[in-house]
Structure 1
Amino acid sequence: MNALSIPQPARLRLNWASLGPLAALVLACAFFSTQSDRFLHLQNFALILQQVMVVGTMAIGQTLIILTAGIDLSCGAIMALSNVVIAKLAVTLGWNPYLAVLAGVALAAGMGLANGLLVTKARLPSFIVTLGTLNIAFAATQIYSGAQTITGLPGPITALGNPLMVAGAPVLWGSLIMLALYLLAWLALRETAPGRHVYAVGNSPEAARLSGISVHRVLLGVYTTAGALYGIAALLSLARTGVGDPQAGQVDNLAAITAVVLGGTSLFGGRGPILGTLVGALIVGVFRNGLTLMGVESVYQMLITGILVLLAVATDQIVHRNG
């Protein structure tokens, strides 16, 4: 078996399984449009994009890890740590804003690399590794920030929170950055050898190794890239809220996993469209937005989101058993 004979799931033609998340999104939009006159307004869709841009960016990294049959529970905590590091360096220590952003993203990438090293070198399960990293990053965030919100961010850090008017709707630059990152990830997974290697490792690490792929190198690259994406998500969070928030990201790890699962990526690895994750993030955003417009309390929104996740996982199990 050689590298050229590895299946390339990203190139497979669309089927009903891959169209499922998109159909769910369309049906959700159709339903909520009948419940609220405001739902179909372009301003409301711009708001949905704004609400999902942080979790949506984190979900790209989460998708890469789940494609390799891993999982990352630490993504929200790493994002929060990067968030306060960027803010504190720029505001308290007076660093150049661009250097502060670079340092925060580098820290997040370094923590992703640490996760990858523990998974590959120590051969620890990703669930356990990232559970530990979650607690470490959370504690570090509280200690470094003194559990205090950081205000007075300089303009370059909040610039991506500025709107661009599109057909009369204010679309944040950060939302466009998120969409550009999805396009870049889609091209990388579809058109490059490293991208195809991610699918190969998720399908069968041993078969990938026998075909000449360095499984450890792929995993290290995936976890490091995911960490860098969490750092970019931290910048988007700063741009959207205008403050460094040590409480940010506490449930974003679950939200990111939800987006990946709803988007059709298999928890068993090796199968799933990256653009499906974007659709999954939008499904969560549409449900929360639509239910809010209907006056449904947030606790019931969480209940409905949980039911959606269980349905998506059950479908994945059925597909896996029959595949």
Structure 2
Amino acid sequence: MSLGKALNAGLRRAMEQSDRVLLMGEDIGPLGGVFRVTEGLQADFGPRRVIDTPLAESGIIGTAIGLAMGGFRPVCEIQFDGFVYPGFDQITSQLAKLTYRHEGALQMPVVIRIPYGGHIGAIEHHQESPEAYFAHTPGLRVVSPSTPNDAYWMIQEAIASPDPVIFFEPKSRYWPKGEVDLDASAVPLHASRIVRRGTDVTLVGHGAMVSTLIQAAALAESEGTSCEVVDLRSLSPVDYEPILESVGRTGRMVYAQEAPGFVSVGSEIAATVAERAFYSLEAPVLRVSGFDTPFPAANLEGKYLPDADRILEAVDRTMAY
């Protein structure tokens, strides 16, 4: 099953289990969304539960907040990553703070789905990685699946959460297929996971970057370096234990992400590992990221986005210490 189809199946299952689950977004009804993640859901559940909204992200989020106050569990789709900013104030000033403002008496079970990242050759505002803005905001949970199986289970766990969840979907991974176990118990929503074992360097990343890390690890192994790969999965809160356990064995770490490197998720992970695993490290924690510029035109995205070669260069540098 592809990641997009896995999300569709996860949404369907959540809607079957509770009639309080509603979907909202631009073109998510008959069209099924730009990436067809909600395809067929309006036909099966009706336009009162799969709601085509106006092109107004602030209105979508504000309406979802009111619905959550009324006992519903709205799932909002932001059509592209760069379109979330008109709703940014509603998310960070209202949605993230209401539970705290009410001393826990008012829950905000809102999920905001955001396709993000590059590798699709799109134009400006369609290939951004804004995850750091939301991971920085107290009161929000922020997650990103990298596989179809994780997508299927994580979207259901996000909908079941009593807190608002920003659900980043790596759009370049919508189409590649992977196994989905519809009967297995879910890995906890905020658990990191070791996806490839190794002994020399720990490679950490999230979303679409995980597959690139696995590719880099395979190339490094052919050159005699054994790399372990950790899928972060949750950007806030972060499950550090698998990362620290891995670094404790390898003594070296490289974090890779599509987003710019300055004040990023990778910055926080690197700083925390340096603090908590200082005596295990044989070399500085290195980061590989997009450059600190706006996302370029589509014909330059291959230069901008980290690839296996750039990750291997960081692996070589850390092994040289």
Give me the TM-score of the superposition, normalised by structure 1.
0.24
Which one has more relative contact order, counting CA pairs under 8 Å at least 6 apart?
Answer: 1
Higher helix share: 1
